[in-house]
């Protein structure tokens, strides 16, 4: 058979082969290893074969053959850990055809509750008496007998059960981006907890439908014992929330698996209309409001840098439409002190592929608003990262210490010598300081709140004018989310109707119509970043 034909067959059968491997395995890693072995054997066999008339039978025979070899190779000196309980298989046993039955029995033991597993192990594997088990566990002998009877019944029932593997067991989701709104702890945002593929899919398995531990295990195609510690870890850190009946849910926001391009463009068109109005009137009121700010250091002497930052802040922060919804339940409080709403971007499929896009907009991505406040010096900072700036690393690379180092340089507390080599290296990496020791960011003398209080809010009449449209759009978006997430989506949809995206559009208009001049490379370092201090850099 030629290589092109073999490639096509392997591609066609790969999901089914992976499903076969999952059914025979105890976790993703083992399944992927077994799947790779089967695919290799199938591919090599196809290349040697002239023609195959019964592909299904041919591939399943190879799959069973490879699995039998796999069992034979791993059964010696191998045990399966069940919550710290090690069930060994000695060399002297030749299990033969019973190998698969042994694995099935172990699988069913793993589906027992933790207490029941431990009682079964103590009684059958350690040969302890019922009285001894009762004494060790501090429970009545009748309770031990009850657990054993229930275990026998569940094992018998489950042994001949064809356990189904859910969608996530066959096709796990992948995260293409992590975000948060709030303060991550020392460990970081949701990526620290959910970058692990199994943890991510475990949380997603209860996103649309609350599930018990056993239901989660079946959805993922693993045994409960394999995920118990992970469930405890994720529950302790707020990513899983226990509901009635032992079911778990989550308040992590995942993007929907599908999206409508027509709907997205419809929302963007409305935002563009608002941006045009704000650029005409509101932006000018902000520029006028900051005219009296004189104590400021501007890297290139261009005051438009300050005005543009003030306009962006005003649109993004002072024009928001508030709602009365309580969204505190969505804040994840981690054991390391983090307190944030977690957002996960997953791969999405366009639902209206026949729709012809009508907009040709540049990237509307932003990171922020980011605030950093020093406890060591009278220094703070506000910034938004977007295509108007050249700063790298976004929130993770935006450190409070950067502004503390710069303050030490401005006040003459440190010199450019070997003792402070690391500090100067860091400031130059961020381009906050040039090679010839010129400060490259804006510094405003005074406190941040004094400056931002000058920026006027959006007129309440205009807010009311947009609030109905904002609520309507938010409710449409919320339909694509599970019920427990809809208050957050509506709150964000209304509050975010006029926010960073509209602010970016307003800047586009102001730079396009000549209100602001095109940024230089040096000004792109400082764009939409304001440092507040009691001391200004020397010119």
* pLDDT per position as a tens digit, 37-70: 888 888 888 888 777 777 887 888 788 778 877 7
Instruction: Report the percent of the chain where pLDDT is more than 90.
Output: 59
pLDDT at position 88 is: 41
pLDDT at position 307 is: 98
Domain 3-74, classified CATH 1.10.1740.10, yes or no: yes
- Across the range 7-31, mean pLDDT stands at 79
Question: Higher pLDDT residue, 437 or 73?
Answer: 437
pLDDT at 473 over 50: yes
pLDDT at position 98 is: 55
One of 2.40.50.140, 1.10.486.10, 1.10.10.10, 3.30.465.10 is the CATH number of 167-254, namely: 1.10.10.10
Q: Where exactly are the structural domains of the chain?
A: 3-74, 79-159, 167-254, 281-325+368-475+522-539
pLDDT at position 90 is: 38
CB 111 within 8 A of CB 158: yes
| Sequence-separated (6 or more) residues with CB below 8 Å from residue 33 | none
Reported confidence tier of residue 74, pLDDT bands at 50, 70, 90: low
Beta-bridge partner residues of 333? 339
The C-alpha angle 490, 491, 493, rounded to 5 degrees, equals 60
Question: Higher pLDDT residue, 123 or 493?
Answer: 493
Cα-flanking dihedrals φ and ψ of residue 531, to 5°? -105, 135
pLDDT at position 436 is: 93
Short-list 74, 293, 332, CA closest to 185: 332
Measured distance CA(95)–CA(102) in Å, rounded: 9
pLDDT at position 519 is: 97
Question: Higher pLDDT residue, 59 or 296?
Answer: 296
Beta-bridge partner residues of 179? 343
- pLDDT tens, residue by residue, 82-119: 333 444 433 334 445 555 665 566 656 666 777 887 88
pLDDT at 287 over 60: yes
Which residue bears the tokens 């302790």? Answer: 236
pLDDT at 159 over 80: no
User: Hey, do 79-159 and 167-254 end up sharing a CATH topology, with the first three levels equal?
Assistant: yes
Reported confidence tier of residue 308, pLDDT bands at 50, 70, 90: very high
Short-list 343, 317, 321, 348, CA closest to 332: 343
- Across the range 395-402, mean pLDDT stands at 95
- pLDDT tens, residue by residue, 503-531: 999 999 999 999 999 999 999 999 999 99
- Across the range 145-168, mean pLDDT stands at 70
pLDDT at position 42 is: 87
pLDDT at 477 over 80: yes
Short-list 164, 173, 243, 162, CA closest to 202: 173
Q: What is the number of other CB atoms lying within 10 angstroms of the CB of residue 245?
A: 7
CATH code reported for the domain at 79-159: 1.10.10.10
Measured distance CA(260)–CA(479) in Å, rounded: 12
pLDDT at position 119 is: 86
| Sequence-separated (6 or more) residues with CB below 8 Å from residue 101 | none
pLDDT at position 464 is: 85
CA 117 to chain centre: 34
pLDDT-wise least confident of 156-170, 319-333, 390-404, 460-474: 156-170
Measured distance CA(243)–CA(10) in Å, rounded: 43
pLDDT at position 227 is: 87
- Across the range 364-388, mean pLDDT stands at 95
pLDDT at position 99 is: 57
C-alpha torsion angle, residues 500, 506, 508, 513 (rounded to 10): -170
- pLDDT tens, residue by residue, 217-266: 888 877 787 788 899 999 999 999 999 988 999 999 999 999 999 999 99
pLDDT at 176 over 80: yes
- pLDDT tens, residue by residue, 275-286: 999 999 899 999
């Amino acid at each position: 058979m030629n290589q092109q034909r073999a490639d096509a067959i392997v591609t066609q059968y790969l999901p089914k082969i992976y499903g076969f491997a999952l059914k025979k395995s105890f976790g993703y890693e083992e399944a992927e290893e077994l799947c790779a072995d089967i695919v290799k054997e199938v591919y090599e066999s196809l290349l040697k074969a002239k023609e195959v008339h019964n592909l299904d039978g041919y591939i399943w025979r190879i799959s069973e053959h490879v699995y039998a070899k796999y069992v034979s190779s791993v059964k010696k000196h191998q045990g399966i850990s069940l919550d710290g309980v090690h069930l060994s298989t000695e060399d002297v046993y030749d299990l033969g055809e019973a190998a698969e039955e042994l694995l099935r029995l172990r699988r069913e033991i793993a589906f027992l509750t933790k207490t029941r597993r431990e009682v079964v192990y103590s009684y059958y594997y350690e040969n302890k008496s019922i009285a001894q088990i009762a004494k060790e566990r501090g429970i009545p002998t009748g309770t031990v007998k009850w657990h054993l009877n229930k275990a026998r019944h569940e094992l018998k029932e489950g042994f001949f059960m064809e356990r189904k593997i859910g969608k996530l067991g066959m096709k796990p989701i992948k995260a293409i981006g992590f975000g948060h709104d709030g303060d991550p702890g020392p460990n970081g945002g949701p990526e620290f907890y959910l970058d692990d593929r199994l943890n991510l899919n475990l949380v997603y398995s209860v996103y649309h439908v609350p599930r018990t531990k056993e239901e989660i295990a079946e959805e993922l195609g693993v045994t409960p014992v394999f995920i118990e510690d992970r469930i405890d870890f994720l529950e302790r850190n707020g990513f899983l929330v226990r509901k009635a009946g032992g079911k778990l849910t989550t308040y992590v926001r995942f993007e929907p698996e599908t999206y409508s391009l027509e709907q997205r463009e419809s929302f963007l068109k409305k935002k563009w209309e608002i941006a045009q109005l704000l650029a005409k009137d509101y932006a000018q009121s902000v520029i006028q409001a900051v005219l009296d700010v004189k104590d400021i250091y501007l890297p290139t002497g261009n005051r438009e840098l300050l005005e543009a930052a003030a306009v962006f802040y005003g649109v993004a922060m002072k024009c928001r439409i508030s709602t009365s919804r309580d969204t505190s339940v969505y804040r994840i409080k981690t054991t390391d002190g983090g307190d944030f709403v977690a957002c996960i971007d997953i791969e999405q499929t366009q639902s209206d592929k026949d729709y012809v896009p009508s907009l040709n907009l540049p990237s509307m991505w932003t990171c922020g608003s980011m605030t950093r406040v020093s406890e060591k010096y009278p220094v703070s900072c506000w910034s938004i990262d977007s295509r108007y700036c050249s700063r790298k690393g976004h929130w993770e690379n935006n450190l409070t210490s950067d502004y503390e180092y710069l303050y030490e340089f401005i006040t003459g507390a440190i010199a450019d010598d070997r003792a402070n080599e690391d500090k100067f290296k860091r400031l130059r990496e961020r381009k906050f300081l040039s090679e010839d020791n010129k400060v490259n960011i804006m510094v405003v003398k005074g406190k941040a709140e004094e400056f931002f209080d000058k920026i006027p809010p959006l007129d309440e009449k205009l807010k009311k004018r947009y609030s109905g449209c904002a609520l309507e759009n938010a409710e449409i978006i919320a339909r694509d989310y599970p019920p427990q997430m809809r208050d957050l989506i509506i709150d964000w949809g209304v509050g975010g109707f006029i926010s960073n995206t509209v602010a970016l559009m307003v800047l586009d208009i102001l730079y396009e119509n000549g209100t602001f001049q095109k940024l230089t490379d040096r000004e792109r370092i400082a764009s939409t970043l304001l440092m507040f201090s009691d001391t200004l850099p020397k010119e």
